[in-house]
Structure 1
């Protein structure tokens, strides 16, 4: 098995109302054309093996083919963001969080965005409440630092969507690092 792509679903929480259970998610992606699938955690993050010489376009086609199956089988109608694992790893190169990380840091985040316009603010950008820094932009990705703790911190997803007009989903840096490590072990 060689995982080459990941899908980051928006507003998916496996087993909850409006979201599939793990087996349905994985089977829907296999039925959509993936050679192998591994759901990672419960937040709608999935590794894809396209088989052979699968391309990014092929990964997008798999996710598109799985979308009506997920709607029919689980009532899920959200968006799946497809990224190559190489692009995800490249977005984290170096230490893009170093300039804004401090003792108040709650989470470092990776926000995937599709559509809309480029981020129209100079980086690093800090929200007026000092609970969120947007620190770097990579193709289809905005990196951020959240302060404030659970339920009281900044919201990178909302900020990125407001600025760009696109659709976004966010994962913690730790989740993305564990996803890349899991793919490397497969």
Structure 2
């Protein structure tokens, strides 16, 4: 099988209340037309094979699965769909080389759908100095979070405020492991 796309669910945590278990998530996508799926980690990141279909087919599969997931577990979040090529291009090279320092907690890749292009000049730092937005490409914003767990540095609210779109974030490490898993499949 060749995975061609990734579905990035917003605010999904497999097995928790309001989120599906892995088998239900994968089953919903298969039932709605995916040729193959592989849930990756527990954060609502799914590798997707739509056969010879492209971005439109992948998006249609994710949209069709939404009411199935709502019925199964009450999940009503948003699914953002990207080609694996687009995900790889977003993190190509070392996009954080010039922003990484001793205070870096996480390097983040925020995917955004809808809205307008980012409305602030980059790099941008929040007032608490816990988040830098460092680069933007169509549908993705790269950031550096500081402060550790629960201390701030969440790029979703900032990206949504500046674009008016819907955002979901993964760490650089998660994206790199996702791409490696897709290459091994």
**Shorter-normalised TM range:** over 0.9
1:154, distance to aligned residue in structure 2 (A): 1.0
Matched residues in 1 for 2:46 and 2:177: separation?
A: 12
Matched residues in 1 for 2:154 and 2:40: separation?
A: 23
> SS where residue 82 of structure 1 aligns?
strand
> Partner of 1:98 in structure 2?
97
CA RMSD of aligned residues (A): 0.7
> SS where residue 145 of structure 1 aligns?
strand
> Partner of 1:75 in structure 2?
74
1:36 matched to 2:29? The reply is no
Paired positions, count: 185
1:29, distance to aligned residue in structure 2 (A): 0.1
Deviations 1:44-77 (A, max 9, x none): 00000112x1100000000011111001111111
Deviations 1:67-100 (A, max 9, x none): 1100111111110000000000001112221221
1:117, distance to aligned residue in structure 2 (A): 1.0
Matched residues in 1 for 2:93 and 2:119: separation?
A: 23
Matched residues in 2 for 1:152 and 1:68: separation?
A: 34
Deviations 1:135-156 (A, max 9, x none): 1111100000001111113110
